[in-house]
Structure 1
Amino acid sequence: MGTDLNSLPSLVFLIIAVSCLFCHPTRANPTFLLRECEPENTTSPTNATYQANLKILLSLLESNSTTPNGFYNLSTGSEAPNIVYGLFLCRGDVSTDICQDCIAAGRQNLLKHCPKKEVGIVYYDECLLRYSNEYIFSTVTYDTSFVMRNVLNVSQSGFEQAVAETMNQTAAQAARGSEKKFATKKAKLTQINETLYTLAQCTPDLSSADCGNCLQTSINSLQLESKGSRVLGPSCGVRFELYPFYFEALVPPPTRPTSGEHRISTALVAILVPIAVSALFYTVFPQPF
C-alpha cells in the first residue's frame, strides 16, 4: 500500500515530537528576539580603549554565566570615558547550561553587530545581555523597552481584567524575591475555558520597590486584549500566554523538588509546539514609556 502524500507533514511532525521526548533541554539553541545598539545611525566608533574593555567585559560575563541565580554584573576600565558596565540576566526557570549557552550566543551577537557602539543590549527568550558606558547597576531603565504581542485577540468579556489581575499577582510575588526576582503563575479562565500562564522578572540588583514599579509600568504596556503579549526591558520583563511557555517543572514550590530529567524533557515538548505555532502571529514594536 502506497504512502498518502497528504499525511506526510503530520507524520514528520509526529516523528519530531516523539523524538523530542528524549531531548535533553540543557543544550538548546537560544531563541533570538531583538537587539539594539546605540548610538544609532552613526559610523563614528568608540575609542580603542573602550572597545578593548568591552571585549574583556563580555568575556568575563560569559565566564560567570554559571552563577546559581542566573545574574551577574561587573565593569571594566578604571576611568571615564573608558569604563564599560555590563550585566546578564537569565530567565528564572532555565537551567545553568541553557543560561550559559544563551550568554555565549549573546556575546557573539553583540561583538558582531555592536562592536563600536557605546551601548548594546540583546534579548533572547532565555536571557538578556547588556552593556553601557553609563552606570546601570541597581537602577531601573525604562526608555529602551519593547512590546511584543500576538496579533490574534480574545473578545470575551472579562478576559483583560483576569489577565491584569493575574499579572499583578505575579509581579508582586516577583518583587518580593531576594536571590531571584522571578515568579510565574497560572490561572484557569472559565470564560474561555483556557489556562493563562504569566511570568514576571526583574534583575535581582533592584530593590523590591523599584522592581515592583518597573513591573507595573511594563504591565501597563501589555496588550491585554491579545492571546499573548510581553514586554522586554533592560531592568524587568513580563509576559502572558494561553499556553505553557516556561519550564513549569523547574519552578516548583520551594519545598517540592523537581522529579528528574524525564519530567523536564516532557515539559519541553509541551512548550516547543505552541511556541513554534504562536511565533507566526507575533509582532514587536518599541514602547516609549
Structure 2
Amino acid sequence: MLQKSGKLQKCTSNPLQIFFQTSITKIKMLPSNYLVISYVFLSLFSFLLFPTKAAPIYSSHFCTNSTKYQPNSTFQTNLNLLLSSLSSNATKGIHFYKTEIGNDAPNTIKGLFLCRGDTLAATCGDCVTVAAREIKHRCPIQEEAIIWYDMCMVRYTNQYFNNIVPGVDISDTKSVAHADLDRFNELLAGLLNSLAREAANSVNDDDKFATGEVNFTSSVTLYGLLQCTPELSLFDCNMCFRSAIAYVPNCCDGKQGARVLLPGCNIRYEVYPFYNSTKTLTPVVKLRSSGRSRFDVILAFVIPIVAAMVLFTFGICTVMRKQARNMIESWNKTDIIASDGLVPSVGCDCGGLFPPEIAVAARSKMELFNLYLKTFGTCHFI
C-alpha cells in the first residue's frame, strides 16, 4: 500500500492483480446451483465437440468343437499372428482381406475378414480389431471359428472354407400384420432376389455388395442388404445367396426384420433404413418421413447449447467487468492513491504491464484501468 507522502513507494501489488484476485474470489462465491448448471453446460458442450466412438455391435459367433489346439502351441502362435495381420490390414480402406499363416499342414491357418460394403475405413478397422480380439475369448481353443458383427465378420480355419455352413439367423420380435403378410412376403422375395443378382454380378469383384428398398405401404418402406465374400465365384456367390434366402421362411416368416449369416454371405432386411449406401431399386418410393432428418435433430440440440455457452461466457465477462469498475471506483475512497492523485509510475514495480511513459501519462487509476480494458478487456469467443 502506498503511504500518503510526496514520495512514491514501491507497489506491493498492482491493479490487475487486485482485479483478478477479487474476480476469482467473487466467482467462487457464486451460488452452487449456478456453478452446477454451468458445469452441465460445459460437459454437454465437450461431449458434442469430442463424441465418443460407438462400439461395434456384436451379432453372433460359432465355434467348431471337432478340433482343438493346445495352449502355447505352434498353432496358437500362428493364430495370434493371423488375427494381428487381419486387424492391421483392416485399416487400409479395403472391405475384404484373406491370408494364410504357417507352412506345416497341422499348424497352417487360413483367415479372412469381410466388412460391410458401406463402412468407412476407420469403422472397418475398429470392427475387425474388436472381432479379432473377441473371437479368441468366445472360442478359446477351437481350430475353426467365425464371429459376426453388424459391420464386419472375422473367421479362421485349419481346413478349407465352407461357405454355406454353419449358419445363424437373427429375427425381429415384431411381426407383420396377418392381413398384409402375403404382400409383404411377395415384395420381400422380389427385393432379395433382385439384390442377389446385383451383388453376385457386381462389376467390382472386391465388393460383392448390394442394397435396395421397395415401397410396402404409403408409410412403410422395406430395406434390404446382401453381401458375399469377394473371393467367391459368380456360381458360389449365387448358391450362398439362394441358401440364405431359402432359409428366411423357416426362421423368420412374418417378421418385420431378419438376418441370415453364413460364412460366405449374409442377407438382411428391415422396415427402417440401416445402411449408408445410396443404391436403390428402380423405381423407388422413399419412406415418407414425418419427422426431421438426423442432421436437423443434431442442429436443434447443438444450437441451444452453443447459445447457452455464449451467454454464460458473456455473463461471466460482464460480471467481472462490472465488479472491476466498482472496485476501481472504490479505490478513490481509500488511501491507496498517492497524495498528489497521480498513478505511481517512476520507481513503482507494478509487474511491467505498461511501459513507464504510459503509466506516467495515466492521470488516475481509472484511466489506467480503462487502458487495461481497451487492451485486455474484450471477450474473445473461439
How would you bin the TM-score normalised by the shorter chain? Answer: 0.7 to 0.9
Deviations 1:51-105 (A, max 9, x none): 1100000001111002433100001000210000000000111111000000110
Confirm or deny that 1:200 pairs with 2:200: no
Confirm or deny that 1:145 pairs with 2:167: yes
Conserved 8 A contact 2:69-2:143: no
Deviations 1:213-262 (A, max 9, x none): 1011101111242101110111000010000011235x589xxxxxxxxx
Conserved 8 A contact 2:96-2:206: no
Confirm or deny that 1:30 pairs with 2:61: no
Closer, same or farther in 2 for the Cα pair 1:151/1:209, shift >3 Å?
A: same
The match for 2:117 is 92
Deviations 1:251-276 (A, max 9, x none): 589xxxxxxxxxx974998xxxxxxx
The equivalent position to 1:230 in structure 2, one of 255, 259, 273, is: 259
- The 3-state SS of whatever aligns with 2:245 is helix
Confirm or deny that 1:123 pairs with 2:148: yes
Deviation of the 1:112 alpha carbon:
2.2
The match for 1:242 is 271
Distance 2:166 2:149 in 1: 15
Deviations 1:181-228 (A, max 9, x none): 0000011113x7410100000000001121111011101111242101
Deviations 1:88-137 (A, max 9, x none): 0001111110000001101110222323210111110010000001122x
Distance 2:98 2:234 in 1: 18
User: What fraction of aligned residue pairs are identical, expressed as a percent?
Assistant: 36
What is the letter of the counterpart of residue 228 of structure 1?
Answer: G
Give 5+ residue unaligned stretches, structure 2: 1-43, 282-292, 299-382
Instruction: Name the TM-score, length of structure 1 as normaliser.
Output: 0.74
Distance 1:48 1:267 in 2: 55
Deviations 1:21-59 (A, max 9, x none): 98879x43100111222217x887377011110000000
- The 3-state SS of whatever aligns with 1:81 is helix
What is the letter of the counterpart of residue 180 of structure 1?
Answer: D
Confirm or deny that 1:215 pairs with 2:215: no
Conserved 8 A contact 2:93-2:120: no
Instruction: Name the TM-score, length of structure 2 as normaliser.
Output: 0.56
Conserved 8 A contact 1:248-1:267: no
Confirm or deny that 1:163 pairs with 2:185: no
What is the letter of the counterpart of residue 236 of structure 1?
Answer: C
Closer, same or farther in 2 for the Cα pair 1:50/1:267, shift >3 Å?
A: farther
The equivalent position to 1:179 in structure 2, one of 206, 217, 235, is: 206
The match for 1:274 is none
What is the letter of the counterpart of residue 174 of structure 2?
Answer: L
Confirm or deny that 1:114 pairs with 2:143: no
Q: How does 1:274-289 map to 2 (within 5 A)?
A: none
What is the letter of the counterpart of residue 183 of structure 1?
Answer: A
Distance 1:93 1:65 in 2: 14
The match for 1:259 is none
Conserved 8 A contact 1:85-1:131: yes
Closer, same or farther in 2 for the Cα pair 1:244/1:185, shift >3 Å?
A: same
Distance 1:268 1:214 in 2: 40
Distance 1:182 1:23 in 2: 32
The structure with more helix, counted as a fraction of residues: 2
Q: State the number of aligned residues.
A: 236
Closer, same or farther in 2 for the Cα pair 1:226/1:101, shift >3 Å?
A: same
Deviation of the 1:153 alpha carbon:
1.6
Distance 1:149 1:169 in 2: 21
Distance 2:128 2:135 in 1: 10
Closer, same or farther in 2 for the Cα pair 1:268/1:121, shift >3 Å?
A: farther
Give 5+ residue unaligned stretches, structure 1: 1-15, 254-263, 270-289
Conserved 8 A contact 1:22-1:265: no
Closer, same or farther in 2 for the Cα pair 1:64/1:205, shift >3 Å?
A: same
